């Protein structure tokens, strides 16, 4: 078969995608972007366009695409077997590394996706607590389960603690199982927990919610409330695990949950996620310890498979080294500062929010503390800037710059130049 020129390939693939995929894509990202390869901090699409990659596969490629140590570990494992549906040495070694690194972790159970990890974390907390309801925070993302998709990004705001489903197909009964509070509002959370504590099986939150850092005292306040009432506290660290420091956000912010969920970075770019936590809660995965009534059945065909495990181990080995995070924090701080300076220069209301390895610009004069604060940003300006960045070879999601340890000074310079150009063209776009 003749090889089509890149432009024809792109057109043919897009046509095929529209025919065989709902909405012409995988449901994750803009379907018109069809990527071919990635190396370090850059990716190329099937038409040969080169991008500085701040999407990073939605975060897992924290040490860059095709890292030589990860590739070597995977290539060594591949001829020895890709999956067994049985315990393997590499999965055990990865679990050991996670227990050693994470303050909350006595034991680990592997799954294949962050959505699974969050779903099972909620289930094991309910099994331990013997209560059905959960408390989550508006705007917090906890995977694709029915409970996780309550009040993730509600189009119609409800009075707290009413939960709003963010997807068709969620049973109406789920609304009654979820209480919702505003992030960074300790007093509202305290009031809700005091009223409903005897019904709650778990409290789940992102310690760094999407882009919003925790307010001083908020995480410790939630820790204290969970301890007071004996409710398992779950940190969803699918995004933050090993991103801000080697021990995750729980180490970075100095607050230890009872359970945490992990994904993205710990799989090294392969399908692997995990629940980690206290031994007495994790015991509910062990029928021999808790009996039939307390046992939580969990199986997964690819859970803890050796290819993902060796990729995760190699990634953690890189991140364990002294100074591993220094460069990404320095670059992130510079970019946040430079971009805020450009906003002031152009008279555009906005600021950089987040942490240096994971941030974005919000086009509002006041730093948001919660989901509703994020809604005050100027969405039209955000779209214009994102469109301008992509046209200039900068690939990012709608609301995140994921930085990697593989990004280089030339990536930073190209990004800042593109951001400046996007702001410069903004008045014309507004007119």
Active site residues: 141, 236, 264
Q: In angstroms, rounded to a whole number, what is the distance separating the alpha carbons of residues 385 and 153?
A: 22
Could you give the 3-state DSSP secondary structure of residue 356?
coil
CA dihedral of residues 177, 399, 117, 42 (deg, nearest 10):
170
Instruction: Give the Cβ contact number of residue 216 at 10 Å.
Output: 9
Strand order in the sheet with 358-362: 351-355, 358-362, 401-402
Distant-in-sequence contacts of 332-335, Cβ < 8 A, 24+ apart: 332/356, 332/357, 332/358, 332/359, 332/401, 332/403, 334/412, 335/359, 335/401, 335/403, 335/412, 335/415, 335/416
422: exposed, middle or buried (C-beta count within 10 Å: 0-12, 13-18, 19+)? buried
CA dihedral of residues 91, 93, 97, 99 (deg, nearest 10):
70
Longest C-alpha distance within the chain, in Å?
Answer: 69
Could you give the 3-state DSSP secondary structure of residue 358?
strand
Q: In angstroms, rounded to a whole number, what is the distance separating the alpha carbons of residues 364 and 352?
A: 10
294: exposed, middle or buried (C-beta count within 10 Å: 0-12, 13-18, 19+)? middle
* Phi, psi (rounded to 5 degrees) for 403: -90, 155
Question: How many helices and strands (H and E) does the chain possess?
Answer: 15, 14
DSSP 377-420: S-HHHHHHHHHHHHHTTEE-BTTBEE--TT--HHHHHHHHHHHH
Q: In angstroms, rounded to a whole number, what is the distance separating the alpha carbons of residues 282 and 272?
A: 18
Q: Residue 60: which of 208, 262, 277 has the closest Cα?
A: 262
Q: How many CA atoms lie within 13 A of 50 on its CB side?
A: 7
Residue 328 tokens read as: 């990404």
Instruction: Give the Cβ contact number of residue 40 at 10 Å.
Output: 18
């Amino acid at each position: 078969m003749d090889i089509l020129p890149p432009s024809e390939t792109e057109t043919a693939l897009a046509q095929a995608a529209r025919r065989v995929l709902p909405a012409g894509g995988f449901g994750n990202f803009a379907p018109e972007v069809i990527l071919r390869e990635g190396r370090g901090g850059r990716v190329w699409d099937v038409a040969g366009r080169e991008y500085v990659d701040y999407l990073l596969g939605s975060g897992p490629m924290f040490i860059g695409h095709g890292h030589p140590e990860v590739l070597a570990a995977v290539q060594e494992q591949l001829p020895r077997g890709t999956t067994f549906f049985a315990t393997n040495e590499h999965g055990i070694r990865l679990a050991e590394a996670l227990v050693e690194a994470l303050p909350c972790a006595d034991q680990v159970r592997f799954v294949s996706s962050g959505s699974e990890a969050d779903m099972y974390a909620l289930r094991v907390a309910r099994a331990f607590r013997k209560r059905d309801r959960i408390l989550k925070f508006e705007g917090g993302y906890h995977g694709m389960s029915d409970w996780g998709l309550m009040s993730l990004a509600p189009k119609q705001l409800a009075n707290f603690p009413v939960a709003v489903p963010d997807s068709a197909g969620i049973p109406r009964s789920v609304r009654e199982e979820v209480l919702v509070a505003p992030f960074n509002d300790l007093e509202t959370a305290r009031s809700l927990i005091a009223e409903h504590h005897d019904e709650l099986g778990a409290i789940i939150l992102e310690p760094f919610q999407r882009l919003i850092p925790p307010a001083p005292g908020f995480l410790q306040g939630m820790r204290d409330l969970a301890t007071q009432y004996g409710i398992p506290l779950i940190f969803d660290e699918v995004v933050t695990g090993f991103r801000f420091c080697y021990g995750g956000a729980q180490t970075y912010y100095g607050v230890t949950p009872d359970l945490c969920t992990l994904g993205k970075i710990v799989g090294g770019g392969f399908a692997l996620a995990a629940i980690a936590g206290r031994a007495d809660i994790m015991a509910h995965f062990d029928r021999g310890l808790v009996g039939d009534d307390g046992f939580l059945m969990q199986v997964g065909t690819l859970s803890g498979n050796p290819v993902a495990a060796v990729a995760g181990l190699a990634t953690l080995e890189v991140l364990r080294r002294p100074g591993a995070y220094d460069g990404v924090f320095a670059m992130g701080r510079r970019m946040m500062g430079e971009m805020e300076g450009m906003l002031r220069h152009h008279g555009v209301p906005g600021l950089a929010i987040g942490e240096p390895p994971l941030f974005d610009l919000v086009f509002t004069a006041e730093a948001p503390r919660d989901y509703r604060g994020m809604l005050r940003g100027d969405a039209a300006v955000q779209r214009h800037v994102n469109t301008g960045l992509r046209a200039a070879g900068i690939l990012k999601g709608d609301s995140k710059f994921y930085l990697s340890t593989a990004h280089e000074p030339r990536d930073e310079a190209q990004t800042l130049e593109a951001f400046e150009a996007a702001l410069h063209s903004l008045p014309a776009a507004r007119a």
